[in-house]
Amino acid sequence: AMHARSVILLGFLAGASAFLSGPAPVAFGRTGRMALSQKLHMSTVPKVPYDGAAVTGPSGPTVPGDGDLDFLEAKPYWDQSGVTVNVAKQKNPHIGKIVSVQRMVGPNAPGETCNIIIDHDGKLPYWEGQSYGVIPPGIDPKRNKPYGVRLYSIASTRYGDDKTGKTTTLCVRRATYWCPELKADDPAKKGVCSNYLCDSKPGDEVKLTGPSGKVMLMPEDDVTQTYIMVATGTGIAPFRSFLRRLFGEANPAQKNFQGLAWLFLGVANKDALLYDEEFQVYLRQNPDKMRLDYALSREGPLNKKGGKMYIQDKVEEYADEVFDALDKGAHIYFCGLKGMMPGIQDMLKDVCKAKGLDFEEYLEGIKKKGQWHVEVY
């Protein structure tokens, strides 16, 4: 059931089939460390059926466990007045270190996507929904100047996947260019920063800027809110941080949440799903608080017109519920390639027309109320 207040989140993922359980969660006190004498009971992560590739280690599925994870909370925890931006700038970036780089898609996924953990030593704090900037090494041949900042949405909560408050996680797809003449990837045209990150090794230094952005922050003042998230590919990053905060940690938001988190995720096929095992754990443990809908464009099922199922088609299947949620105060989030938005807006226009609503007027109304959140690239 939809609740009195709602927030809508949509996302897309990539992966391969298996049955695994992730690591046991760790709960930390205010110091971010847990002494032997203070060890808390660890809850077991349930085994679940899932279609994505397994993400292991600290980035694997987690459950809240006992104790409190609250040493990075505002007071009260929903107060966003102290959210900081641009702590580190391009002229004076923070030097982080790569902790791990893990491929997170199956063999039949188009392209390669990696889960990358970076140690920021607690000196670049962020909130869920913010981004980090990465400055790749080298000189841009087009400008004959050092490369500029590339922004990446953060995929972990403020505590990091290891729950120490000292790391961040990025979800990065290696950008390549297929040359029709060579009939192969052209290395001269590959994405500079994405390849730099995906090729990095533990211990490598990385220049970081940020955190940046407040558009995608998750309001937590109403514990009955419903979050509806819509994403494509690595656009899953902010929504993975939302879901991990709501269901995977013993933080105040998780303990108080009584609303609904609804994720729409669009990818090519099951091998391209991202963080699916983790999401299936949350869904299994919180069936009344979470919904999960995937659109697999190359595998089906087909949309109602007999064509490929893209993200806008999957959302349209639930248009009445989505609009009802928005009417009750829902926040809707979009993240992914900018090419996703025309299809989304065309679908919403058609739904508005069928409901006798003026689309531009309707959209302007929910924007004024702060219910519409878009981060595309």
Q: Could you count the other beta carbons within 10 Å of the beta carbon of residue 23? A: 16
In the set 126, 132, 152, 159, the catalytic residue is: 152
Q: How far apart are the first and last CA of the chain?
A: 33
Contact 227, 218 (CB under 8 A): yes
Contact 261, 227 (CB under 8 A): yes
Task: Mark whether 152 is an active-site residue.
Answer: yes
Task: Mark whether 77 is an active-site residue.
Answer: no
DSSP helix/strand/coil, 80: coil
Helix, strand, coil abundance in the chain, percent, nearest 5: 25, 25, 50
Task: Mark whether 375 is an active-site residue.
Answer: yes
CA 75 to CA 78: how far, in whole Å?
7
Task: Mark whether 364 is an active-site residue.
Answer: no
Spatial CA neighbour of 99 closest among 84, 114, 81, 83 = 114
In the set 126, 335, 352, 362, the catalytic residue is: 335
In the set 177, 205, 360, 377, the catalytic residue is: 377
In the set 153, 194, 200, 212, the catalytic residue is: 153
Task: Mark whether 153 is an active-site residue.
Answer: yes
CA 111 to CA 96: how far, in whole Å?
26
Residues noted as catalytic: 152-153, 335, 375, 377
